[in-house]
Every structure is written in structure tokens, then in C-alpha cells.
Structure 1
Amino acid sequence: MEVKILGWETKGLKIPDWEINLDKSQGKKISIIMMPSGTGKTTTLNLLRYSFFDYSKIIPKKDIEKLFNPETKNQNGEFNLFLLINNEKYKISTKFNFKEKNISYVTTDPVEGTKDGLNLPEELKKYIDREYIEKTFFDLELVNLLFESSEAINSITKLYKLYYFDSINKHLESYLDQKQAESSVGKISKKKFNELLLKKEKLIKQKKLLTEKFNENEKKFLSLKNEKQKLEKQKKEIEQSKSTIKKQIEDTRNKISLAKNNLQESFKDFYKKLKNPILINSKIKDQLINFEKNLNELQIPESVGKEFFDDLVKSQKCLCGHDMTDEMRKQIEINKNNILSNDTWLILSVLKAKINHNAEDSVYNMEESLSLIAKRKRDLSIEERKEKEIVDEIDDEKYKNILTRINKIEPDLENLEKFFKDYNEAPSVNDTPDSLSIKKIDNLLEITQKEIDEATETKDTSEKIKTIKLILDNAKEKSLKFIIDDLIKKINKEIPRVMPLEKILVKDIKDRIILEGQESAAQGQLARIGYLFLITLLNRPNLNFPFVVDSPVTAMDDISRKQIAITIAKELNNQYCAFVLPTERPEFVDVLEEYSDGKINHIVAFNTSDSDSQILVEHAKKNGINTDQFKNGIVAYDKKYFWNFKGNLEE
């Protein structure tokens, strides 16, 4: 199956109302679109993504808001994508409603005409999912994720559809669940069995939630970490130029670091105490112990059926210890079906265990802890004030902005590090289904499943399904290894040509791309290897799909640019479209021209609504470019103008 982008048009969005045509000269598989910073490179990349995969139910409202044009205040906008799929023309219209903050689709195809919804051919849908779209429309500035997170292995797993193994496993689990639900429960009560099922359901939901949160936080952490590293480098350069106060800054920061650690320890200790209300106050302790005693007398949560409520309304005292009144009995009768919800038994069981566990401990001295926190907070404030006074002496606005941003990033990184620590915490005897550790959740799931197997006498069926799942997992692992070995072989074959002066090879692809004999490499080197990884991954015999890249060579030296251009021209079979800055032309676009026999679309596009864009408009007129075709932008297809163009806006 072959897919080609013919062009697109935008209406009523933050970027100009214009049409960009990639098919003016047929037979050109490479299109280079040059835009100054701020014209909409990254925005257009996202709009292309939205056109191939249905984002209507998953797009955050803030991403829709980013497309709103505050100047025109249009409440509706659209992005129309023109495609050629197996030599048949399609039009995908992505419509934005800024009032409701949602998007919808309309598709026009040669068979069914115009219909609501995103209606791509069924054969194409087999290959396309969100992961595939994120890779085929790629921002190369995010290439570090391939080397620092699970991005690489996730891409392979999804693009090669290895998740089908997981889908089969889920079907097997569903079969076992159904079998056990239909089985008679002889060894335990029906109520206890339902409690186990509920516990398992909660654990599965928590595991899904934690996994999604981990993937989200991993990307966020790496993004913030990279941003901080760049800022620290800029900060250090400024400080070194101010050598007279460099030592003062270092000494003060060491004291700030120590004060922060001390304060953090105090907060951790205090938080640990707060989580244990039984030891905060002697009265609270006595009340909780009395509460636990009453729960035991009424066999809660073991007995939560009709008998429990009957006994409760006959009691002289309530669970809380107060005398039972007629009004209270009446209210219990009205609300008894809601008093103990499906999962309250779980909460009460944990609560009773915690009360018992801490019943003999002494009450904390909270005033001491609060006094220590206050003192350490003062110590930190004093040192931070000293740092501010030193920084103010520098009188450098850029430096102050860098510090402000770093100070905002650091707490976020600390919170994320805590999440990762909790996520990998080992199991213990007091674990609960709301744990933040994936290892604890997996352990509880295994224990709960064994209890369900024994209760339903389906241990034999469960073991057989477990064996089948192990076989499938082994098949998935072997398939993944075969694919990875083939990818590594192809990538390493190209590396000596792309990086002739550096001896860097890919050793393995586990969660991330691992380099031979070194932890990492320079940004330009990572970009080149990342390019090879993506090109190799996307070059698939069954699907010829466009590869669209934002900032394709921004972090590369001249040699890297040249060799990547050769790779694209000679090795990539797919349509290639790149959004470049003027600074990315040398040793890249000219090399693409040379090795593709000049079969390139040279496109220049920029916004004309900004006051400082008039210089660009005048320059376009002098070069014979039509400046009146669109009301707030210019699009030119002239090769000579492409090379003469000088953007006055820098990235």
C-alpha cells in the first residue's frame, strides 16, 4: 500500500490561512518546507498527525486551545489534508470547535463520497495506530527519548504489532475469569469470593493506571532533565564570565543544598507521622481503638449482609460508641444498601490492621517536629536570600531568567524521582491495592489469583492458561529479539558511512537504544543514529508511508548533515517531507538535491501578519514572488528564492 501527501490547507487557525502543495511537480518524493521560527512548523506537524489517527477522544483541550487565533477570534477552524492512497485521491478534513474545545472529522473518498468521521481504507488502518503516527511525523529535537527512555522498544513493539501477543493473553485471562465466575464456590463463602474478585479488579485498574503514569512521567522527566542541563550550561558560562563572585555563588549553593536536604528529611518524618493518626493524639488513639473494638464485636467487615444491618439496628450503641436512637435506626434502614459499598470491606480490613499494629506505640510529640521544620525552613530562607543578593549583583536579566526556570524545574524533577522510587519499591506484608509500586501490585495480583483459583477449584485450568501465556511471552520475546538483531545489523552497517570519523555502534535495543562501550554520545551523534533507527524502522515492504520530520538536522555538524541527506536520498523509499529553518539548508538540502537528481520540492512559507515580517514581504516581491495569494501568509515554490531567502527570525 502506498500513501502520498499531495498537500494541505488551513483555515481559521493560529497559523496562516494558506494552501501548501507538494504535488506541483509530479515525481518528487522529497519536499523541503522552509519556515522561520514561529510560523507553525511544529503546529503543522501536529495537524498532520491529527489527520491520520482519530484524536477526537484523546486530544487534551489545552492542545486545541493552542490552535486558537486570538487576533481573528474565529470559533471554528479546519485543516484539510489531500492524499493519494493507492493512486486514489482522498481528502481528510479535521474541524476544530474552539467554543466546545473539540475536534471532528469529515472524509471525502472516490467510493463513498463525503462522510462524517475519519474513514481511511481498512487495509491502511491495519498499520496505523498512534505510535506509528508519532514516529512517521517526528520532531527530531525529541531524539534523546530513543536513548534515555522506553521509547525505542515501545516503537518496535507497536510498529511490528507485537502487542497482539498481549491481546491473546488478555483473551485467555477473560476466559479464566468467565470460567471462575460460573464455577461453584465451595471452600469459601460467596461473599468472600466476591471480595476477592473486587480486589483483583481494583489491582488490575491500579496496575493500568500506574503503567500509564510511568510512561507519561518518564517522558516528562527526560524533557525537564534535558532542559535543566541546557540551562545549567548557560548558567555556568555566565558565572565563569563573572569570576569575582563565582566562589561566593558556589559556597552559598552548597549551603542551600544542605538546608534543602535537612528540610526535606524533616518533612518526610512529619508526613510519616501524619499518615498515622492513631499516634498524633491520645484522644484520637483511644477513639480509634474503641472503633476497632466495635467493628470486631459486630464482625465487620466479615459480615456485611442483611444480618449485619438487622443486628446493628437492634444494638443499644452505634459503631461510634454513642447510644442508638430511633432516628438513627430509621436512617440506617433507609440507607443500609449504601452504608457499605462494594469496596468498603477492603478499606475497613486495612484500617483494622493498622489500628492493631500501632495500638501499643507511644503518641508522637508533634510540636517538636513542627519546631524543627520551622527552624530548617528559616535556615533555607536565609541561604536563598543570600544567593538572591549575590545574583542581583550580577545584573544580568538572562541569568536571572535561567535561575527562575531552574528553580521551577527542580521541584518537578524531585517529585518525579519520588514517583519512580515508589514505583519500583519491593513488596511487603502490609501492601494494599492502592499502592504506588508496580512490584507490589503484581505481587498482590498473584496472591489474589491463587486464592481465586483455590476457591473455585480451577487451579488446573489456571495452570494451563499460565503455561500458554508463558509460551506466547516466549514467542514474543524471540520475535522481538529477531527484529532487534536485524535492526541493529542494518543500522550498524550504515553508521561508518554516516559517522566516518567516530567509532560508535549500537550494541542493543532493550528499553532504549544502547551504544557499544559508552553510556551516551554528543547530541549530533545521537541525532544521526536516531535517524538511522527511524528510517530502518519505517522502511517496510507492505506500506510506503510518508516520513515527515521537524528540525531534521538542527543539532548536526556539516559531515552529519551530508551523510544523513545521502541516506534519505538513497535508502528511504518513502515520501520525505522536512520542515527546516534557514540555518538547516547548508550541507543538507544541497546534498539532497545532488543525490536525488534534483527531484525536490523547494518551498518557502512564512506569516505576514507580524509587524517585523514586512522585511520578508519586500524581499519576496524583489524576487518575483506572488505576495497577494493569501491574506496572512506567503507560500513560494521557487528554488532560487529558496536559497536567497533570509529569515529575520531565529529559532
Structure 2
Amino acid sequence: MRIDFAGWSTAGLRCPDVVIDLLGPSPTPPKVTLLQMPNGTGKTTTLEMLIATLSGVATSWDEKTVRSYRRKGDDRDLGTFVVSLLVDGRPLSIELVLDFEMGTARYRTTNPGSGGVVQSWSPPPPVRRFLAKDFLGLFVFNGEFAARLLDSRETAADDAIDALCQLYLLDEVEDFVEQEWSRRTKQTGAKSDGALIRLRTQLASMTARRVVIAQARVKAEGQVRDTVAQIENLQARIEERLGTGRSTREQFNEAKIEMTRAEGALVAAAGNAMQTLRQPLAIHPSFAGSLIALKDNLDNLRLPENTSAQFFNELLEEDECICGREMTAGAKHEIGIRSLRYLDASEAGVINAIKQDIGDFTAASETQSPSESLAAAMAELGAARRDQKMARQTVLALQQKLIDEGDDELLAWQRQLQRQTELNTECARLLQEIDADDEKDGASEPCSLKLIDKKIKDFGSKISEITQTVTLRKQTDVVRGIMARTKELARQKIKTELIALSNERLAKVLANDPLTIARIDRSIRLEGQGTGSTAQVLAAGYVFLMSALRRGNNDFPLVVDSPANPMDLGRRRRVGGLIPELCSQFVAFTINTELPGFVPALAGATKEIRYLTMFRKTPGTARLLPALPATGVTQNDHSVVVEGNDYFVKFDVTEDEEDQ
């Protein structure tokens, strides 16, 4: 399936009333369309409305959100946004209508190929799954999104995988079977006694708590990543400031080296002490004395072999057994045979090994006994701890010295470092509690997800027993388990495929500046480097997205706000030259400062390029109206759209003039 944008129109919203036609005289859109929109002309709002219109999510907006899109000073009751698509060349139109008076949103879908106009959000089933909000975010986004895919503090790449796999469909299956089980248990009529009501209340409460704890885990995990990055940054700044003066630099470097040495010595001493502590005989002399006595007794009894053999041989020569019975021929025969079961070879080996170990461990060395070795190890540990503490205090003293000399910025960094460290510690502690599996079962409000899941399962089992839906409960658990396993396998499989496909394309588009994706772990991780240059990062991000979107023989457009804003000229040329190779339709919202480098590179990579310039009609832009070209101009009371490369390149309007 191929999806193209044919255009959109807006009226009565924060962004100016405008009609954007991406087709022109051709039945198909060009490969690249550049829409120059100065700051203040609603690029962000347009992007938001594109996603809201196509995804159908606006019906869930509250009144405040709906009214937030109303243009200031505009008395119109309705705002509309219409998006026109081509699905395998066939038109499809979705209209979003915002009722500012009622604070509601509604949709209208026009599909000439199947029934005409429908007064709701109703795209054809084959298209519907690609218009989910999460999936739309893969091809309609701000230019920074591509860079976020490689940010280790973000989860954008994993989120993109989930959207690409449309794993929310599996979540919906889980929700459906759970709701069906809940519905069946409520049909028990007179069986719904007080105990059942309490169990249902407890199940609902624990299920709601699981959602809260799961969200807290995601937040804490993100804060741990963020604080780690900020701590590293602050530590680097502090170290750099400490090294600004020659004497301070020398002292600081020496102190850091000494602290590193002391910390290494502390780790070694702690390991040595723990190893010695594993020997009980080193803790107190009585242990060694008791073990030596055990060995001596075994030697005196001639165990394991001599005493056992001699005992049974002497017994066979007696007239009576030790129990007082007569020693008959049959008794002697049985004793002779069964004596072999006692203290056989394996048992004798164990006893001999015990005697050998006692001898080895209790024997005093040439210099120290085990207890003396422990005392020496503990003394070494104490000395290493003191050295490490003194080295750390020296480093802190250097920091305090600069602060006392009036370095307020360093003081602010230290305080910020302390706050971030405390936050990191707290978030790590929270994650440990959430991931723990040893929390007491009696906790009324548990934090452990494992315990919460156990309680949810227990409540469900009890409810099933009371309502006689045990079989259905088991079937529900089986389906949920299958869905969870399917999600895990889908993620792993698609990650492997995308890495291979992305690396194959990166080898072509970055032939002179090679880059390889090593793995996808929340974010895209590069081979042999933490991150790349801005151009490399954006190239990897764009390649990853388009490889994902074109997987499965589907073809999607790319609509990007400010695709080249953070890059210098050289990087703009590289990224601009590779974009036409990655997608069949590229629509970019740009400003005039992005044009150098980027636009010529696009034009050099493809001849299918259309230039549109749009600006809002204001007193500040009134001076531009007399200079409009004779052709290619579309205007209304709120905006002007001009088609053409010459006007596109020469157009310039300052932000001050826009606000007049």
C-alpha cells in the first residue's frame, strides 16, 4: 500500500486559513515539496492538526483542549481542518470540525470509492491501522524526532518499534479477554455475596495500582537515565573548572590519581577481608581447636578403614553378637556380607577429605595463623578506607577552596550535582522496590510489580471459584500469556531485520562517512561510538524510520517540521542529498534560515521538487503584497500562498514584521 499527501485546508483555527495543494496540475504529488512558513504562521499547530485529523483522537479531547485551537479574536463558532490523501492513487479525505461553543470535536470522512461521505472518522479498514496516532508519529514529526532516536536518555526507537509492530493491537486483545471475563463474573446474580463484592473491589484497586506503579517505573527509569547524563556533565564541568589554574590543575590531577589509587586499594582490601572471613576458624581460635580435636579423634579411632574392618572381623569370631543373640553360621554370613555397606569407599573418601582439609586449614603458616591473617586483612581494610577517605577529602577541599575564593558558578554546579545525585539515588531505590520479588505479601499497597501481579492473579482465582468461571479464567490467562510472548518475539525479530536493512542503506548514503547501527536498546546504539555528528545522527534516524515504514512493501510519506534547522551547511548538504533516496514523498515545513545548503542539495538529488511559500496577512506583511508575482498566487483574507522557486528563494520576512 502507498499513502501520499494530496494537501490540506484549514479555517477558523489558530493557524491562518489556507489551502495547501500538494498536487498542482499533476495527478500525483512530486517527490519533494518545500513549504516555507515564517515563524508565527502555525507550523506546530498544522503538524498537530494533521495528526489529530488523520488519527481520529480529537473526539476524546476535553472542552479546554478543543477551545485552545480557537484563533484569538475570531468569533467563528467552528474551526475545520481537512486532510486529503491518495491511497494507492485513490482519494480519501478526512475532515475535523471543532465546535468552540460546545467544546466538542467531530469528523467527516469522504471516500468516493466506497460509499461517499460518512459523518464520522471512518477510513477504510486497510488504511485505518496506519492512521493510529502512534504510527502517524513515525512519518509526521518535528525534525528533532530523528535525533531523539539516537539519544540514550530517550526511548524513541523502542516506541517506534512498538508503533511499527502495532503492538497496541495485542494490548487490545488482552484488554478484551479481561473485560469478557469480568463481564461473565458479574452475571452471577444471587451468588454476588459480600465476599465476592470485596474481592472485585480489591481486584479493581490492585489493577489500578499496577497501572500507577508501572507508570512510576517508566518515569523513574527515565529520570535515572537523565540524572546519570546530567551528573556526568556536571562532574566534567567541575573538573574542568578545578583545572583552570596551573597549581590548581596539578593539585587536582594528583588528588584524582591518588583517590583512584585509594579506591582501587579499598576494593582489593575489602575482597581480601571477605575471603578471609569465609573461614570460620579464622574468626575465633576455638573453631580451630574443635576441628583439630575432631581430626585427632578420627585418627585415634583409626577411621575410616581400619576400625570398621577390624570391628566386623572380631565380631564374626565371637560366640554371641553384641546384641546378646547366638552367633549362628547364618548370622555370620549375613554380617560378613552387610559389613561392606558400612564406611564404603565413597564414605571413606569423604572422611579422609575432611581430615585432609582440617589439617590444611588449621596448620599455621610460617608467618601467621588464620586468626592473625584475618586481623591483618581487617587492618589493611581499615587503612585503605582511611586513605580513600583522605583522598576524597582532598578533592573536596580543592573544590571548597575555589568556592571560598568566590566562584559562585562552581557552587551552583555543586548544589545541582548534589540534587541530581540525590534524585538518582531515590529513583534507583524506587526501581529496586518496584522490581523486587521479596516484598511481604501482607503489604496493603505493595510497590513490587511481581507481588501486585501475584495478588491480581490470586484475586482473579478466588473470584473464578466463587462465580464458577475457573476454566474461563485459565483461558484468559493463556491468551494474555500468548499476547505477552508474541509482543516480545515481534520486538526482537523486527529489531534484527531493521538493523540489517538500515545498515545496508547507511552504507550507501554515508559511503564516505561510514556509520553502523549495533543494536536497538530503547534508543539506536551505534557501533563503536556513543553518538555521531549531527548529520550522522539525522541520517541514521531518517534511514531507520524509512526502513521501518517501507518494511512489508508499504510506502509512506515523510512530513517534517524544520528538518535541517540544527545543522550547519555541510551537514545540511549531506542530509538533503540522501532524503530523496529514502522516501517517495517528502514534505518539509521550513524557514528561510534553513534554505542554504539544504535546498540546493535536495534540488540536486531530484528534479521532482515543488516550492511553496506561505505567510500570514498582517499589517507587518502588507508591504509584501504589491511585490507578489503575477502567477502562482493563492490568497484569502488571512494568508497568501505563492508557488515558484524564485519567490521561494528571495522571500524574507523578519519576526518583528510578523508580529506587527
Which bin holds the TM-score, normalised by the shorter protein?
0.5 to 0.7
**2:144 aligned to which of 128, 141, 145:** 141
Aligned residue type for 2:600? D
Q: Contact 1:184/1:456 (CA < 8 Å) preserved in 2?
A: no
Sort the Cα spacing of 1:183 and 1:46 in 2 relative to 1 into closer, same or farther, 3 A: closer
Sort the Cα spacing of 1:464 and 1:23 in 2 relative to 1 into closer, same or farther, 3 A: closer
Is 2:589 the counterpart of 1:606?
no
Q: 1:122 matched to which residue of 2?
A: 125
Cα distance per residue 1:291-315 (max 9 Å; x no partner): xxxxxxxxxxxxxxxxxxxxxxxxx
Cα distance per residue 1:587-606 (max 9 Å; x no partner): 3222222222x111111111
Sort the Cα spacing of 1:216 and 1:435 in 2 relative to 1 into closer, same or farther, 3 A: same
The Cα RMSD (Å) is: 4.7
Q: Contact 1:525/1:556 (CA < 8 Å) preserved in 2?
A: no
Q: 2:351 matched to which residue of 1?
A: none
Is 2:487 the counterpart of 1:476?
yes
Q: Contact 2:9/2:83 (CA < 8 Å) preserved in 1?
A: yes
2:39 and 2:575 map into 1 onto residues whose CA distance is: 23
2:471 and 2:98 map into 1 onto residues whose CA distance is: 54
Instruction: Summarize the alignment of residues 313-324 of structure 1 with structure 2, pairs less than 5 Å apart.
Output: none
Sort the Cα spacing of 1:469 and 1:490 in 2 relative to 1 into closer, same or farther, 3 A: same
Sort the Cα spacing of 1:93 and 1:420 in 2 relative to 1 into closer, same or farther, 3 A: farther
Aligned residue type for 1:159? L
Q: 2:547 matched to which residue of 1?
A: 536
**2:576 aligned to which of 553, 562, 565:** 565
Is 2:452 the counterpart of 1:441?
yes
Q: Contact 1:34/1:582 (CA < 8 Å) preserved in 2?
A: yes
Q: 1:104 matched to which residue of 2?
A: 106
Q: Structure 2 stretches of 5 or more lacking a match?
A: 249-402
Q: Contact 2:14/2:70 (CA < 8 Å) preserved in 1?
A: yes
Q: 1:383 matched to which residue of 2?
A: none
Cα distance per residue 1:562-589 (max 9 Å; x no partner): 343333312323x221111222223322
Q: What is the CA-CA distance between 1:19 and the residue it aligns to?
A: 1.3
**1:156 aligned to which of 161, 164, 182:** 161
Cα distance per residue 1:276-297 (max 9 Å; x no partner): xxxxxxxxxxxxxxxxxxxxxx
2:68 and 2:183 map into 1 onto residues whose CA distance is: 46
Q: Contact 2:12/2:78 (CA < 8 Å) preserved in 1?
A: yes
Aligned residue type for 1:205? A
SS in 1 for 2:9: strand
**2:593 aligned to which of 569, 583, 602:** 583
2:181 and 2:76 map into 1 onto residues whose CA distance is: 54
Sort the Cα spacing of 1:91 and 1:456 in 2 relative to 1 into closer, same or farther, 3 A: closer
SS in 1 for 2:24: coil
1:527 and 1:56 map into 2 onto residues whose CA distance is: 31
**1:642 aligned to which of 643, 648, 652:** 648
Q: 1:595 matched to which residue of 2?
A: 605
Sort the Cα spacing of 1:468 and 1:112 in 2 relative to 1 into closer, same or farther, 3 A: closer
Q: 2:21 matched to which residue of 1?
A: 21
1:71 and 1:420 map into 2 onto residues whose CA distance is: 48
Q: How many residues align?
A: 485
Aligned residue type for 1:158? A
1:415 and 1:130 map into 2 onto residues whose CA distance is: 35
TM-score normalised per structure 1: 0.62
Q: Contact 1:95/1:105 (CA < 8 Å) preserved in 2?
A: yes
Q: What is the CA-CA distance between 1:48 and the residue it aligns to?
A: 1.0
Is 2:638 the counterpart of 1:629?
no
SS in 1 for 2:53: helix
Sort the Cα spacing of 1:432 and 1:529 in 2 relative to 1 into closer, same or farther, 3 A: farther
1:5 and 1:446 map into 2 onto residues whose CA distance is: 48
Q: What is the CA-CA distance between 1:543 and the residue it aligns to?
A: 3.7
Aligned residue type for 2:637? K
2:103 and 2:84 map into 1 onto residues whose CA distance is: 24
Q: Contact 1:145/1:222 (CA < 8 Å) preserved in 2?
A: no
Cα distance per residue 1:55-85 (max 9 Å; x no partner): 2333355543442211334332211223333
Q: Contact 1:135/1:534 (CA < 8 Å) preserved in 2?
A: yes
SS in 1 for 2:567: coil
Aligned residue type for 2:3? V
Instruction: Summarize the alignment of residues 355-434 of structure 1 with structure 2, pairs less than 5 Å apart.
Output: 421=431, 424=434, 426=436, 428-429=439-440, 432=443, 434=445
Q: Contact 2:154/2:523 (CA < 8 Å) preserved in 1?
A: yes
2:515 and 2:521 map into 1 onto residues whose CA distance is: 17
Q: 1:307 matched to which residue of 2?
A: none
Q: Contact 1:7/1:22 (CA < 8 Å) preserved in 2?
A: yes
Q: Contact 1:6/1:23 (CA < 8 Å) preserved in 2?
A: yes
1:57 and 1:474 map into 2 onto residues whose CA distance is: 33
Instruction: Summarize the alignment of residues 156-195 of structure 1 with structure 2, pairs less than 5 Å apart.
Output: 156-170=161-175, 173=178, 191-195=194-198
Is 2:516 the counterpart of 1:516?
no
Sort the Cα spacing of 1:60 and 1:601 in 2 relative to 1 into closer, same or farther, 3 A: farther
Cα distance per residue 1:199-225 (max 9 Å; x no partner): 222222222344457668988x69998
SS in 1 for 2:538: helix
Aligned residue type for 2:158? I
SS in 1 for 2:137: helix
2:226 and 2:96 map into 1 onto residues whose CA distance is: 31
2:567 and 2:442 map into 1 onto residues whose CA distance is: 49
The structure that has the greater radius of gyration is: 2
Q: Contact 2:110/2:118 (CA < 8 Å) preserved in 1?
A: yes
Q: Contact 1:433/1:441 (CA < 8 Å) preserved in 2?
A: no
Sort the Cα spacing of 1:71 and 1:175 in 2 relative to 1 into closer, same or farther, 3 A: closer
Q: 1:343 matched to which residue of 2?
A: none
Aligned residue type for 1:511? R
SS in 1 for 2:123: coil
Sort the Cα spacing of 1:424 and 1:214 in 2 relative to 1 into closer, same or farther, 3 A: closer
Cα distance per residue 1:460-507 (max 9 Å; x no partner): 876676566545544433332221111001112233444456554222
Sort the Cα spacing of 1:128 and 1:637 in 2 relative to 1 into closer, same or farther, 3 A: same
Q: 2:42 matched to which residue of 1?
A: 40
Sort the Cα spacing of 1:60 and 1:459 in 2 relative to 1 into closer, same or farther, 3 A: closer
Aligned residue type for 1:103? A
Aligned residue type for 1:640? D
Cα distance per residue 1:491-525 (max 9 Å; x no partner): 12233444456554222223332333444445544
2:557 and 2:63 map into 1 onto residues whose CA distance is: 28
Q: What is the CA-CA distance between 1:529 and the residue it aligns to?
A: 1.8
1:610 and 1:438 map into 2 onto residues whose CA distance is: 60
Cα distance per residue 1:355-374 (max 9 Å; x no partner): xxxxxxxxxxxxxxxxxxxx
Q: Contact 1:30/1:600 (CA < 8 Å) preserved in 2?
A: yes
Sort the Cα spacing of 1:223 and 1:593 in 2 relative to 1 into closer, same or farther, 3 A: farther
Sort the Cα spacing of 1:455 and 1:96 in 2 relative to 1 into closer, same or farther, 3 A: closer
**2:561 aligned to which of 533, 547, 550:** 550
Q: Contact 1:80/1:92 (CA < 8 Å) preserved in 2?
A: yes
Q: Structure 1 stretches of 5 or more lacking a match?
A: 248-385, 395-401
Identity of aligned residues (%): 23
1:197 and 1:94 map into 2 onto residues whose CA distance is: 40
Aligned residue type for 2:53? S
Q: What is the CA-CA distance between 1:53 and the residue it aligns to?
A: 1.3
Q: Contact 1:33/1:604 (CA < 8 Å) preserved in 2?
A: yes
Is 2:12 the counterpart of 1:3?
no
Q: Contact 1:549/1:578 (CA < 8 Å) preserved in 2?
A: yes
Aligned residue type for 2:44? T
